[in-house]
């Protein structure tokens, strides 16, 4: 069974949005680089020794990220439909007003998403607990590659797929940032509220939509 872990110095501040197959990393992976250089995310894929099982697990991870992107493709339309439905309800039928977010929480979450999407990233492929390859994407966009001695071609292909899944997930985070700005702008343009008020609303909407996607696979 494969394990997709997301950790590093950014992990403790990660928001609750669920993206692809990634799970919160164990504490040792979170703290490994704490205080050493610029903050980075650590994407670790731990595979079984069997290459066929590894390929199957990575294919499942890729499908999970692709599903997230498919949902993001439809978020703007879902948002517009939700606004239309809300506008058609009487004030007393619109449900309870959500509790306010703790001060600064959304701002910290968005900052973390930006760092996660654009910052330094370390992507590791582990087989049976042994590190076989590591790619580091720097702030400038350059990539550094380390491989274990005598890494097989099959092992190299598995790592390439691990990297592709991590980068595709980072792209999803970038899209989420863009959607937060775009959808918040739509609400502000309606003239009913301010940016300070609408950003938490948009954040909760995105969170709920992505939780719907994650729920079937988590069941």
Domain ranges of the chain: 3-218
CA distances from 83 to 65, 71, 130, 166, 201 (A): 27, 18, 50, 33, 12
Pick from 22, 68, 28: which is nearest to 46 by CA? 22
**8 A C-beta contact, residue 203 and residue 109:** yes
Ordered per-residue pLDDT tens for the chain, 219 residues: 789 998 876 665 565 666 889 888 776 555 444 455 667 889 999 999 898 999 999 999 999 999 999 999 999 898 888 877 766 544 444 455 555 666 577 777 787 788 878 888 999 999 998 999 999 987 777 889 999 998 999 999 999 999 999 999 999 989 999 999 888 888 887 766 666 678 888 888 888 888 877 655 544
Sign of CA dihedral 85, 15, 105, 176: negative
For the record, the structure tokens of 132 come out as 């076989």
Strands (DSSP E) found in the chain: 3-8, 23-24, 40-47, 120-127, 130-137, 143-147
């Amino acid at each position: 069974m494969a394990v997709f872990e997301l950790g590093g110095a950014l992990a403790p501040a990660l928001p609750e949005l669920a993206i692809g197959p990634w799970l919160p990393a164990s504490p040792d992976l979170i703290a490994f680089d704490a205080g050493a250089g610029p903050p980075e995310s650590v994407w670790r894929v731990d595979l079984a020794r069997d290459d066929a099982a590894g390929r199957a697990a990575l294919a499942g991870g890729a499908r999970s990220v692709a599903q997230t992107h498919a949902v993001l493709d439809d978020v703007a339309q879902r948002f517009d439909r939700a606004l239309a439905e809300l506008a058609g309800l009487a004030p007393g039928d619109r449900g309870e007003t959500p509790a306010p977010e703790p001060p600064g929480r959304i701002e910290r979450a968005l900052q973390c998403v930006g760092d996660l999407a654009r910052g330094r990233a370390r992507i590791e492929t582990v087989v049976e607990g042994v590190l076989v390859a590591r790619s580091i994407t720097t702030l400038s966009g350059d990539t550094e590659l380390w491989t274990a001695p005598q890494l097989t071609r099959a092992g190299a292909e598995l790592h390439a797929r691990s990297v592709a899944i991590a980068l595709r997930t980072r792209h999803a985070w970038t899209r989420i940032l863009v959607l937060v700005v775009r959808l918040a702008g739509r609400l502000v343009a309606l003239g009913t509220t301010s940016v300070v008020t609408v950003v938490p609303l948009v954040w909760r909407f995105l969170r709920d939509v992505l939780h719907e996607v994650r729920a079937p696979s988590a069941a």
